Amino acid sequence: MEKRRKHEIHKQLSVGEVAQRSGVAVSALRFYETRGLIHSWRNAGNQRRYARDVLRRVAVIKIAQRLGIPLAEIHDALSVLPEKRAPSAKEWHQISDRWREDLDERIDKLTKLRDQLDGCIGCGCLSLNTCPLRNPDDIASEDGPGPRMFDPQ
């Protein structure tokens, strides 16, 4: 509780406090700042100070990272969100819907890939120049039949 006192006294957070409470390394927080994902001001001694709202922002960043969204896109998404208040349901929807679509596309792509692989495993894939796995864009081989994937046995 000794250590907690500081937190209770001022509403601003130091970078170390944000790190501890958000579970993100100090170096990562500074990195996010260079990328414009979070913001801070400086105290008299040039140290970063954060509004408590930064914790929400960092939480959103962490979620987006888990979803596999690149930081640049997270940045764009966050620029929709207000800095000093909680976003409205509508604002959150705007962002999460976009990420949801992104996720869907990736799942779709992987699923199609899996189906192609299954086809290729199952069928023996003796005619690999027509195999969808080898010809993702359905471009006919320009140089005669390619090598077969494996021996007919």
Partner DNA sequence: CCTTGACCTAAACCAAGGTTTAGATCTCAC
Partner DNA sequence: GTGAGATCTAAACCTTGGTTTAGGTCAAGG
**Residue 98 interacts with which of its own copies, DNA, none, CB < 5 to 8 Å by class:** none
- Is 85 one of the binding residues for its own copies (CB under 8 A)? yes
Residue 37 to residue 84: CA distance in whole angstroms = 14
Q: Which 3 state secondary structure label does DSSP give 126?
A: coil
- Min separation Cβ 37 and its own copies, Å: 16
> What's the token pair of residue 109?
């792509």
CB of 17 to DNA, least distance (A): 6
Q: What is the rounded CA–CA span in Å between residue 84 and residue 39? A: 11
Residue 128 · residue 149 · CB < 8 Å: yes
138 binds its own copies (CB under 8 A): no
Stretch that binds its own copies, among 28-36, 42-50, 70-78, 103-111 (CB under 8 A): 103-111
Is 62 a binding residue for its own copies by CB under 8 A? The answer is: yes
